[in-house]
Amino acid sequence: MAIWNPWRGCHRQSEGCRYCYIHKGDARKGIDTDQIVRTEKFYAPVEKKTSGDYKIKPGQTVYVCFSSDFLLEDADEWRGECWDMIRERQDLHFLFLTKRIDRFMQCIPKDWGDGYENVTVGCTIENQEMADARLAVFSELPIKHRNIICQPLIGAIELEQHLKGVELVVAGGESDKNARPLDYEWVLSLREQCIRTGTHFEFRQCGTYFIKDGKQYKLAVKDLGSQARKAGINV
Ligand code: SF4
């Protein structure tokens, strides 16, 4: 696994961005997240060692733009070079998540066709409103590998009609002292929808405030992932 952040910074897009970890981390360091800048790692996928080998070893999944959104408007002039690198590194699999799936068709390269085999696109949704708006678009797009990321999940979501061709649905709660609670029933409902459609499902993290059987619990950040794994409900 490798991480590639060609640029950093982002603008809040919807309710799911309220406690964005990038904005929170930057605020602590006095960085303005709304300033979008290219990083010194922009060319990381094609950087080579003196031996001539790529620094990022073949066969890995590369997580792209985890300090931004790959489809951010501010990065339109830079994305073309990123596609060139993705095309060059057929030996890697690239994955990016976006809350801007409505911009997808204007962001893809000319030779995209019905999708690059080495790219997975994750459409992020947080509630029914965003599911309705974004998944209606997402379902129609030419993408070879697609995931749906329901994190932070802040309400129940019906998305079964959009699961055709989806490889994985991820559910997770919000992490913040003011986080909106995650109701376990919402997670189980998503899981049922995935089971009915033969879609992989992963419960990735509880929320700081977690409701189970009508009772609300407060969890430490360090326990959010492990508590979700303990539920043992991935399929
Ligand atoms: S789109 Fe993602 S990175 Fe950008 S503000 Fe929202 S949560 Fe943060």
Give the tens place of pLDDT for each residue, 108-139: 999 999 999 999 999 999 999 999 999 999 99
| Six token digits for residue 93 | 């699999």
Q: What is the pLDDT of residue 177?
A: 95
Q: State the Cα–Cα distance between residues 155 and 58, nearest whole angstrom.
A: 39
Token duo for residue 149: 């990321």
- Residue 88's Cα: distance from chain center in Å? 23
Range 74-93 average pLDDT: 98
- Give the Cβ contact number of residue 195 at 10 Å: 11
Q: For 178, how many CA atoms within 13 A lie in the half-sphere containing its CB?
A: 4
Residue 65 contacts residue 86 (beta carbons within 8 Å)? no
Q: Is the CB of 99 inside a 6 Å radius of any atom of ligand 1?
A: yes
- C-alpha 137 chain-centroid distance: 16
- Whole-number Cα distances in Å, 132 to 159, 162, 225: 8, 9, 27
Rounded CA separation 101/79 (Å) = 15
Which residue has the CA at smallest separation from atom 8 of ligand 1?
20
Ligand 1 nearest atom to the CA of residue 21, by list position: 8
* pLDDT tens, position by position, 88-112: 999 999 999 999 999 999 999 999 9
Whether ligand 1 lies within 6 angstroms of the CB of 69 is answered as: yes
- State if pTM tops 0.85: yes
pLDDT tens digits, 182-230: 999 999 999 999 999 999 999 999 999 999 999 999 999 999 999 999 9
12 lines ligand 1 (CB under 6 A): yes
User: Is residue 174 very low, low, confident or very high in pLDDT (cuts 50, 70, 90)?
Assistant: very high
Residue 165: predicted pLDDT: 97
CA of residue 32 to ligand 1 center, whole Å? 14
For residue 18, what pLDDT band results from cuts at 50, 70 and 90?
very high
- According to the model, what pLDDT value does residue 149 have? 98
Question: Residues 46, 89: contact at Cβ < 8 Å?
Answer: yes
How is residue 57 written in tokens?
Answer: 């070893």
137 C-alpha to center of ligand 1: Å?
19
Q: Quote the CA–CA distance of 89 and 91 in Å, as a whole number.
A: 5
How far is it, in rounded angstroms, from Cα 71 to Cα 85?
16
For all residues of the chain together, what is the average pLDDT?
Answer: 98
Minimum CA distance residue for ligand 1 atom 3: 68
Whole-number pLDDT of residue 113: 98
pLDDT level of residue 179 (50, 70, 90 thresholds)? very high
pLDDT band at 163 (very low <50, low <70, confident <90, very high): very high
